Amino acid sequence: MTPILPPARVAFIGLGVMGAAMAANILKAGFRLTVSTRSRDKAEALLAAGADWAPTAQDAADGAACVCLCVPDTPDVEAVLFGDDGVVHGAAAGTVVIDFSTIAAAASADFARRMAERGVVLLDSPVSGGPQGAIDGTLTCMVGGADAGFSAARAVFDAVGKTITLLGPAGSGQICKSANQLIIVAAMQAAAEALTMGRKAGLDPALMRQALLGGSARSFVLESHAKRMLDGNFKPGFRAELMRKDMRLALGAVRENGVFAPSTALAAQMMEAVVNSGRGGDDCASIGALVAELSGVKG
């Protein structure tokens, strides 16, 4: 396939916190950018920077060498791709579609098969790195799909990510993202329990965290999420309700692959509990507040 290089046209559909930042970096990389989202207000900054507006996903895909999307869940992706005004009706044969959403792996594989029937390559590429990584263009992209499409779209990936890995056939990126999320939630659960144990035993949890960061327990979760727990800062970077969705996907993935996964089951249950406790709109690190609350620790 022909490499997709600036100034080729790239479409981006879905301009939430992550999508808007990724689209901005694609524009900065020199691509001509067309954007589409349910609320045009979210596109104003990109339009002011030189992007073009498309009222539908079909219109956005028309004339684009690459179409990117970043939407909340599996049904949203299916609607964007195959709805009445979906990408499939506007994309020409040879177009590469990159789905940056986090959705079910089996659905990603099915969507790729359906797009391939139209001559369109679909790559699933859920990302990790959070809003700041999206702004900085340093996301980790976990990619599944055809090698030819991946190679053709490499410059688009380079505009948004730093660690970009083709993991296997369609759906592989979603499996890797489920692994990423279950590791994070399991580690957050452990950190929350450890810090609460320290508090109940009379230790200064901030000093305890400082000591742990000097040993083998050091991790991004201890550096970042545990700090949020201690500060009581649950302004959403990644909302608990979205992490709950991701853990449901992880739970489905381990079941489909016949994995003995008690940690995944517990992590999924804990995210259900976090959301059901009224913290769905808070950062997922609010799992720390729930563990403290259930342990009889206030503040």
Q: What share of the chain is helix, strand, coil (3-state, %, to 5)?
A: 55, 15, 30
**CA nearest neighbour of 194 among 288, 261, 259, 284:** 288
Alpha carbons 33 and 198: distance in angstroms, whole number: 51
**Among 162, 177, 235, 298, the one annotated catalytic:** 177
Report which DSSP code applies to 165: E
Contacts 24+ apart (CB under 8 A), 193-197: 193/291, 195/226, 195/229, 195/230, 195/288, 196/288, 196/291, 196/292, 196/295, 196/297
Alpha carbons 191 and 200: distance in angstroms, whole number: 14
245 is catalytic: no
Query: Which positions are catalytic?
Result: 177
